[in-house]
Amino acid sequence: MSKATRQDTREHLLAIGEQLCLQRGFTGMGLSELLSQAGVPKGSFYHYFRSKEAFGVALLERYFSTLHQETMRWFASRQEQPRERLLRYYQQAELRFRQSGHIENCLAVKISAEVCDLSEEMRLALERGAARQTELLAEVLRHAADQGAPPLSLEPEAMAQTLYSLWLGASLQSKIRRDGSALTHALAAILQLLSPG
């Protein structure tokens, strides 16, 4: 098997695995079902991943890499001032929930509580991914400060962590309640947080 074919098959397994995890969670995703849906012969899984845990780490790394690239593109494409871009980012996420009725394709929300006690390697992958997203938010806030925006009540790094944690918690609460009220309240809080201190 060529390196390209091997990489394509690995990517295909990760894409199918992400969809199964979003439906069933990580522990609920069986390897037999994964291989069957991917059209990969049974027993071939270990040619691509040393264990289900290693698969989970690769799944999270792939997810956060895609999320990071999409978020960077989104911020780069906006014409508003940096703080307005941040607010618009969260407004769009809240709007998507109201339109669809659920948190779409958020692997971090789906499996973070499930895997943190199950796998230290997966916990670290979640931590690294969240740190990259938080740093991206902090970068936007630092850019606002560089442009002379009035200071916020928290330093950029602390504000970014607060925004990330607030939205992640509200997203989880929205899954539990199956309504968007937690996101709506979080959006109102973010509006206040992004107002000058």
* Rounded mean pLDDT, 27-50: 92
Note the pTM of the prediction, 2 decimals: 0.88
Q: 28 and 80 in one domain? A: no
Does residue 134 register a pLDDT over 60? yes
Euclidean distance between the first and final Cα of the chain, in Å?
A: 59
**Are 3 and 58 within one domain?**
no
183 with 158, same domain: the answer is yes
Are 79 and 164 contained in the same domain? yes
34 and 64 inside one domain: no
Residues 93 and 188 in one domain: yes
Phi and psi torsions of 143, nearest 5°: -60, -40
Q: What is the CATH number of the domain that holds 118?
A: 1.10.357.10
What amino acid is encoded at 173 in this protein?
Q
Question: Within this chain, do residues 156 and 78 fall inside the same structural domain, yes or no?
Answer: yes
Are residue 41 and residue 5 in the same domain, yes or no? Answer: yes
- Indicate if the pLDDT at residue 151 is higher than 60: yes
Task: Check whether residue 31 and residue 126 sit in a common domain.
Answer: no
Domain of 17 in residue numbering reads as 1-48
pLDDT, average across residues 59-72: 95
Q: Is 25 left (phi over 0), alpha (psi -120 to 50) or beta?
A: left
> Across residues 77-93, what is the average pLDDT?
90
**CA 41 and chain centroid, separation:** 30
pLDDT for residue 197 is more than 70: no
Residues 145 and 95 in one domain: yes
Are 168 and 108 contacting, i.e. CB atoms less than 8 angstroms apart?
yes
Q: Is there a single domain that holds both residue 104 and residue 134?
A: yes
Distance of CA 13 to the CA centre of its chain: 19
Mean predicted confidence (pLDDT) in 40-57:
92
pLDDT at 2: 55
Tell me how far the alpha carbon of residue 38 is from its chain's centroid: 23
Report the alpha-carbon distance of residue 166 to residue 160 in Å, rounded: 10
Q: Looking at the structure, tell me whether residues 58 and 90 fall in a common domain.
A: yes
- The pLDDT, as a whole number, for residue 7 is 81
Q: Dump pLDDT digits (tens) for 164-191.
A: 999 999 999 988 888 889 999 999 999 9
